[in-house]
Amino acid sequence: MVQISGLHKEFGALHILKGIDLDVSAGEVCVLLGPSGSGKSTLLRCINQLETFEAGEIWVGGDRVGFANEPLPDGRLARLTEKQIAAQRSRVGMVFQRFNLFPHMTALQNVMEAPIHVARVPAAQARKRALDLLERVGMADRSSHYPSELSGGQQQRVAIARAMAMDPELMLFDEPTSALDPELVGEVLSVIKDLARSGMTMMVVTHELGFAREVADQVVFMADGVVVEAGAPTQVIDSPQSARLQDFLKSVL
């Protein structure tokens, strides 16, 4: 589902991603661990084309991200138009640290927005789908509430339903519980676990080691813009090989 090779990302003099190579199979849950500033969130933003990158390739679902699949006769890659990029991005759902719900819309309206205005789904059909998704994340009884009337955990569950409303092939979660009070973390992780059990391909940036052990098929530890270790949870979390990962796990635990 996701193939990344030789990915480099720079912000001015800052070299954030330094040649990332990573594959995520369809139906797999890939958990990204690492200290702040290691490039985890930037990697997700490159996949979803919220950031451009200087070198390397990203493929999602068989399509090259940001560029035409086949090179031009002179070997150059043709950059996609904004409309084509938007079409690619619509196939990838993303949930952020901050919930980013539209404050003037109810939970139901937030979930309906993209299907109606981006995918041109009829309103009645979008409403039914949105209600089904809110039911799935345990928010059906709050469908008429505005974000200001919801707890952080409830807002994040609505945000997950909103990301699912476009039927994405891939879901990206950028530290989805980091802005939540501790007692609300479990309800959001429960929703993500349910998605994992359904076979959704997911990449999750998190510090929740228990979640990684329980749900991840692959754990990737990043530091200083490179992949330091990658493998099964039992390998990466329980038997770390590098001193860098050992120190990180000690700090998290």
Q: Which of 86, 112, 89 is nearest to 101 (CA)?
A: 112
pLDDT band for 99, please (50, 70, 90 cuts). confident
- Separation CA 222–CA 21 (nearest Å): 11
- Would you say residue 203 lies in a domain? yes
- What is the extent of the structural domain holding 137? 28-50+82-252
In a domain, 111, yes or no: yes
Residue 16 forms part of a structural domain: no
Average pLDDT for the chain? 94
Strand bridging mode 170-174 / 201-205: parallel
Beta bridge partners of 24: 2
Q: Does 158 have pLDDT greater than 90?
A: yes
Q: What CATH number is attached to the domain comprising 248? A: 3.40.50.300
**pLDDT tens digits for range 176-195:** 998 888 888 999 999 999 99
| 96: confidence class by pLDDT, cuts 50, 70, 90 | very high
Kindly state whether residue 214 falls inside one of the protein's structural domains. yes
- Rounded to an integer, the average pLDDT of 132-140 is 95
Instruction: Please give the pLDDT value at position 184.
Output: 87
The tally of domains found in the chain comes to 1
For residue 227, being part of any structural domain is answered with: yes
Is 157:173 a contact under the CB 8 Å cutoff? no
Q: Give the dihedral of Cα atoms 95, 200, 138, 43; nearest 10 deg.
A: -10
Q: Which residues pair with 223 in a beta bridge?
A: 226
Measure CA of the first residue to CA of the last residue in the chain; give whole Å. 32
Q: Is residue 195 part of a domain?
A: yes
Contact 4, 23 (CB under 8 A): yes
What sign does the dihedral 161-153-208-53 (CA atoms) show? Answer: positive
For 106, phi and psi rounded to 5 degrees?
Answer: -70, 170
Contact in structure between 208 and 29 (CB atoms under 8 Å): no
Comparing CA positions, the residue from 32, 10, 37, 6 lying closest to residue 19 is 6
Chain position carrying tokens 């958990």: 31
Q: What percent of the chain has pLDDT over 70?
A: 100
Sign of CA dihedral 228, 175, 239, 4: negative
In a domain, 21, yes or no: no
pLDDT at 100: 87
Tell me how many helices (H) and strands (E) the chain has: 9, 10
Q: Which helix (H) or strand (E) holds 8?
A: strand 2-11
Q: Is residue 72 part of a domain?
A: no
